[in-house]
């Protein structure tokens, strides 16, 4: 078959898995999937090598899931793989890093022959245990563990598994609904694959698979070979739970690979912020691929040249039974740590540091004793600002590296008696620079009358804000307190009494380059839009008092016109 035909089929496979992902978005019960896109979807050959991934999704899921299908094959056994099967797990070390992610794998058969697999992952709102948060001291406390097993055996659902799941979680309808949604989206992918194979008269995926993997491997190696053969180190200090965490990496660029060694990084934490190596690998690879080969589609071959190692029992290579529920809080900081090293080898290539981890929180609501009300678990995804890039400002309230979307207020309030009193951009939170860091957000969170709640905080950058690059200034730190001034912790479950509100300020991204070099017209634009204050325009960017007054007057006139 010609290379042109194979290229058409490659593009078709990417479309197939994107439809697979969109089917999950449409059918999922969890708002983290429907509204935030916290999911992944992919197609694999019969050997378990990923051939294509959906554009919709997060790298922490899909890059980790790239290794997962091999575990399913090993655990299930090739002799037990049958048409009509569906497999499931939430194993942190053989899935995507914590119990709150459920991965479902379905073998794909064509005319009675096994040709490949479809896999997908979704973050679920509750998995039992202590709930989503950093409070556990071991993985056993963090929720229900589902080993790699059959959810559907030749078309028959395992009702015993369903009963066990329903009996161990706070939101059984949501969770079981999400499991069925995961299985359904794999089925959608399978149907589209069969249609493609019939259209192109294929009996297996070997030919197209070899074409995809060989071309991806060659293109990626060409990019790496063009880089300087150098080694550099990077480091970052972040909040941790009770004590700061040091992330350290040694980046080596060789002829046919790039290797990240995290020796020197802090050891395991007592609380659930530890990271399985599969998740560390997912985000380190993603960081390098974004910088070196961003347009080459993700698959097993394009990821293979990016290698990661870390000492066992370091916080980025946590082994069982370490608590790992909030592995994303540390894992999302890994790209900026890698970029601290890469910037020394490839200047003017990578952005300044951003907020890093998502600004998530979960609210466990219940009626105050003696009052009527609703119990609910509400998980919301939010973002700080992204770091400025070498030639453009950072994005406001945008999650890098996860790519997960900020949830709309309406979707959050629909899931339970939570009230979002305020959600808006945070002026002056982006670090000043020739290119300004992205803005964080303000949020004000409370509950409907007659309810109290536990607030599970999952924040960082409270004590260690994003650092500027090449003369850019740091972003603003995270702040969290109740409306009466009571300070709250950046991580952990904390009680909020009836009538009280939680006041949140999410961190901004850092600036890139000397602020004195910023285009004056961009400073005026930021001031007019309310991104920066008059004080910041004067103090950080050197705008004259007269020019500040003129911009503010023109802005006020435009608003009242």
Spatial contact of 352 and 436, defined as CB atoms under 8 Å apart: no
Residue-by-residue pLDDT tens, the chain, 561 positions:
789 999 999 999 999 999 999 999 999 998 889 999 999 999 999 999 999 999 998 999 989 999 999 999 999 999 999 999 999 999 999 999 999 999 999 999 999 999 999 999 999 999 999 999 999 999 999 999 999 999 999 999 999 999 999 999 999 999 999 999 999 999 999 999 999 999 999 999 999 999 999 999 999 999 999 999 999 999 999 999 999 999 999 999 999 999 999 999 999 999 999 999 999 999 999 999 999 999 999 999 999 999 999 999 999 999 999 999 999 999 999 999 999 999 999 999 999 999 999 999 999 999 999 999 999 999 999 999 999 999 999 999 999 999 999 899 999 999 999 999 999 999 999 999 999 999 999 999 999 999 999 999 999 999 999 999 999 999 999 999 999 999 999 999 999 999 999 999 999 999 999 999 999 999 999 999 999 999 999 999 999 999 999 999 999 988 765
Task: Return the axis-axis angle of helices 520-529 and 545-560, rounded to nearest 10°.
Answer: 40
pLDDT of residue 77: 98
Give the DSSP per-residue string, 361-425: EEEEEEEPTTS----EEEEE----PPPPBTTBPPPTT--TTT-PPPPPHHHHHHTSSEEEEEEEE
329, two tokens: 């809080």
> Is the pTM for the entire model greater than 0.85?
yes
**CB-count exposure of residue 269 (10 Å: 0-12, 13-18, 19+):** buried
Q: How far apart are CA 120 and CA 153, in angstroms?
A: 18
Ramachandran angles phi, psi of 20, nearest 5°: -55, -45
Q: Kindly write down the DSSP assignment for every residue of 45-97, as one continuous string.
A: ETTS-EEEE-SSS-HHHHHHHTTHHHHHHHHH-GGG--TT-EEEE--TTTTTS
Angle at CA 68, nearest 5°, toward 106 and 313? 155
Nearest to 359 by CA among 414, 435, 426, 308: 426
Is the separation of the CB atoms in 22 and 189 below 8 Å? no
Question: Could you give the angle at which helices 3-27 and 206-225 cross, rounded to 10 degrees?
Answer: 100
* pLDDT at residue 415 in the model: 92
Q: What is the pLDDT of residue 1?
A: 77
Q: Which residues contact 189 (CB under 8 A, 6 or more apart)?
A: 16, 17, 19, 20, 23, 41, 43, 108, 118
* Measured distance CA(188)–CA(203) in Å, rounded: 19
Confidence at residue 159, expressed as pLDDT on a 0 to 100 scale:
98
Greatest CA separation for the chain: 79
The DSSP symbol for 315 reads T
For residue 557, what pLDDT is reported? 86
Helix H or strand E encompassing 527: helix 520-529
97: left (phi over 0), alpha (psi -120 to 50) or beta: left
Q: How far apart are CA 520 and CA 500, in angstroms?
A: 43
CB atoms within 10 A of CB 238: 24
Q: How many C-beta atoms surround the C-beta of residue 83 within 10 A? A: 13
In whole angstroms, what is the distance from residue 275 CA to residue 280 CA? Answer: 7
Is the peptide bond between 410 and the residue preceding it cis, with omega within 30 degrees of 0? no
Q: Which residues make beta-bridge pairs with 441?
A: 425
Cα–Cα distance measured from residue 524 to residue 550, given in angstroms and rounded to the nearest whole number? 10
Distances (CA, A) of 93 to 37, 49, 130, 138: 22, 18, 20, 14
Query: Can you tell me the distance from the alpha carbon of 546 to that of 550, in angstroms, rounded to the nearest whole number?
Result: 6
Angle at 430 between CA 510 and CA 275, to 5 degrees: 50
CA distance 535 to 548: 9
pLDDT of residue 560: 60
Report helix, strand or coil for 485. Answer: coil
pLDDT for the residue numbered 227: 97
């Amino acid at each position: 078959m010609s290379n042109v035909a194979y290229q058409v089929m490659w593009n078709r496979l990417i479309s197939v898995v994107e439809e697979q992902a969109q089917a999950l978005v449409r059918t999922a019960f969890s708002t983290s999937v429907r509204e935030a896109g916290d999911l992944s979807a992919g197609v694999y050959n019969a050997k378990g090598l990923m051939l294509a991934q959906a554009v919709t999704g997060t790298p922490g899921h899909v890059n980790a899931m790239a290794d997962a299908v091999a575990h399913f094959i090993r655990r299930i056994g090739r002799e037990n793989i049958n048409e009509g099967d569906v497999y499931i797990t939430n194993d942190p070390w053989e899935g995507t890093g914590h119990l709150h992610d459920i991965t479902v794998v379905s073998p794909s058969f064509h005319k009675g022959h096994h040709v490949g697999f479809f896999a997908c992952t979704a973050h679920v709102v509750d998995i039992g245990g202590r709930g989503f948060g950093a409070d556990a001291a071991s993985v056993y406390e963090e929720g229900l563990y589902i080993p790699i097993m059959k959810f559907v055996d030749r078309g028959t659902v395992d009702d015993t598994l369903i009963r066990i799941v329903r009996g161990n979680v706070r939101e059984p309808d949501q969770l079981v609904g999400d499991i069925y949604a995961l299985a359904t989206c794999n089925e959608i992918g399978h149907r589209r694959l069969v249609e493609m194979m019939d259209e192109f008269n294929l009996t297996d995926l070997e030919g197209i698979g070899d074409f995809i993997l060989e071309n991806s491997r060659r293109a990626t190696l060409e990019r790496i070979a063009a880089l300087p053969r150098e080694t550099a180190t990077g480091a970052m200090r972040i909040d941790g739970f009770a004590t700061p965490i040091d992330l350290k990496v040694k980046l080596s660029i060789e002829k046919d690979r790039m290797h990240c060694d995290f020796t020197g990084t802090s050891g395991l934490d007592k609380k659930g912020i530890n990271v399985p190596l599969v998740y560390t690998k997912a985000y380190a690879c993603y960081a390098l691929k974004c910088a070196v080969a961003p347009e080459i589609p993700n698959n097993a071959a394009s990821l293979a040249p990016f290698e990661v190692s870390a000492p066992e029992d370091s916080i980025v290579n946590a082994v069982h039974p370490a608590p790992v529920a909030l592995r994303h809080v540390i894992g999302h900081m890994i790209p900026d740590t890698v970029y601290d090293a890469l910037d020394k080898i490839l200047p003017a290539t990578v952005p300044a540091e951003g907020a890093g981890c998502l600004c998530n929180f979960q609210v466990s609501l219940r009626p105050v004793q003696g009052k009527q009300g609703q119990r609910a678990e509400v998980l919301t995804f939010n973002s700080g600002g992204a770091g400025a890039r070498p030639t453009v400002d950072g994005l406001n309230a945008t999650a890098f590296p996860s790519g997960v979307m900020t949830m709309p207020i309406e979707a959050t309030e629909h899931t339970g008696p939570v009230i979002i009193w305020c959600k808006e951009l945070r002026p002056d939170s982006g670090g000043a620079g020739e290119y300004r860091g992205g803005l964080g957000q303000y949020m004000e969170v409370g509950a409907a009358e007659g309810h109290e709640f536990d607030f599970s905080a999952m924040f960082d950058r409270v004590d260690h804000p994003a650092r500027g690059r090449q003369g850019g200034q740091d972003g603003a730190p995270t702040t969290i307190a109740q409306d009466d001034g009571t300070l709250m912790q950046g991580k952990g479950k904390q009680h909020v009494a009836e009538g009280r509100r939680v006041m949140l300020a999410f961190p901004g991204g850092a600036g890139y380059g000397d602020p004195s070099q910023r285009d004056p017209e961009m400073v005026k634009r930021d001031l007019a839009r309310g991104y920066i204050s008059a004080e910041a325009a004067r103090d950080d960017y050197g705008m004259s008092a007269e020019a500040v007054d003129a911009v503010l007057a023109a802005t006020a006139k435009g608003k009242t016109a």
